[in-house]
Structure 1
Amino acid sequence: MISKTARLCVADHQYWIHGDVYDVTEWRYTGFNGLVASIAAPGVLRDPGDFAIVMTGTESGPVRVTVQAAARELGPANLDAWDEVVEVSLLLRGENPAVVTDFDDDASSSLSAFTVLGPGPYRVRVHARGRDAGQEALMVDDEPVEEHLIQVWPAPAAPTHVIKTSDTYGTTFRPQN
């Protein structure tokens, strides 16, 4: 398993997981789970997606992100340690799949090429904690108050699987029953 952690600077409450294909000019939130959206260009939720958008509570500032890439599925998520956990399938077409933001910084490049295991599709499990604290802080200048874990492994495409949702921030996106 390969594991890398970086202090990623986010803007507009988001960062992306993508290869060379991404276009969110017409992104629609309909049916969005509140954490990670598997997207087919130009912005339609789809399994598998060409790329993903991950929503952060932090509007602008640092978020601690760890990426773990493995040859096979990692063990089940520790649900006690995370507020939100969602799995999606991604194609991640292109030569340099990566976690990126609007900022061109060293942190993004340290999380690049995490799909060293060959061409997709991939299963991507995104974990988040501290999004409510990130939203309350709005602009975070110092140490991140929010943390994400992204686990990636090669796997056939499968529907999005929402494992856990418990933060308040995510409810602003999820459909109300």
Structure 2
Amino acid sequence: MRYPTWTSDRMFVSYWQYCLQGDEFLGEYDDADTVRRIFEGNSLAAGGPEHLTVLAGTHTGWIRLTTRQCADAPPLPGQEWETVVDVSICSTSGSLRLFRWGGDVEEDAGNFATAGAGWYRVRVQARERDEGAGHEGDTPVEEHFLGVWPAPPEPDTVHCANDAFGRGHYDPTRAPGRPVQP
């Protein structure tokens, strides 16, 4: 099976956020503390049943985003990526789609729950979040990558947290974030 890659130079973020979301998220689950868990956890992403929220540096504007649906964990990136984390999420509906903050789905990115309902691991990579924090305009300066693959639940893994937000919020002495069970 060939797993698709999707790239956009025009992924719009609002309130520093975009997400993966399943069909049952709004009806079955509530995760009002996701952003708090990002600030107090790995500094980049947090999730639970049917969703994952990613925190960009850009408050409102465009980022470059590449996504990949994977059979296994993608290779670790090089040092050009400033912050890289792996997070576990559970799809109870068998659907995980890319959403802009506020509810607009990016249909072209596809369904990331490639194995149906069950557990997935998401690698989130970011660079230029610091530059995105003060950026205004139509040309994105910040870039993200999401790789999603079926995998049993594990605590968050922080491969690196080297942008200013990561250095300010990620504390390697704290216990890693745990997967949120459905």
Question: What's the CA shift string for 1:140-175, capped at 9, x where partnerless?
Answer: 331211111101111111111011110002344334
What is the count of residue pairs matched by the alignment? 164
1:175 and 1:17 map into 2 onto residues whose CA distance is: 25
Correspondence list, 1:33-48, <5 A: 33-39=42-48
Greater mean deviation of Cα atoms: 81-90 or 112-121 = 112-121
Paired AA for residue 160 in structure 2: K
Paired AA for residue 2 in structure 1: P
Whether the aligned pair in 2 keeps the contact of 1:9 and 1:62 (CA below 8 Å) is yes
Identity %: 32
How does the TM-score come out when normalised to structure 2? 0.79
1:63 and 1:93 map into 2 onto residues whose CA distance is: 29
The list of structure 1 runs, each at least 4 consecutive aligned residues, that deviate by more than 2 angstroms after superposition, is 22-31, 92-96, 102-106, 114-120, 169-177
TM-superposed CA distance for 1:102, in Å, is 2.7
CA RMSD of aligned residues (A): 2.2
Correspondence list, 1:43-54, <5 A: 49-54=49-54
How does the TM-score come out when normalised to structure 1? 0.81
1:70 matches 2:70: yes
1:61 aligns with 61
1:25 matches 2:27: no
Pick closer, same or farther for the CA change 1:158–1:60 going to 2, 3 Å: same
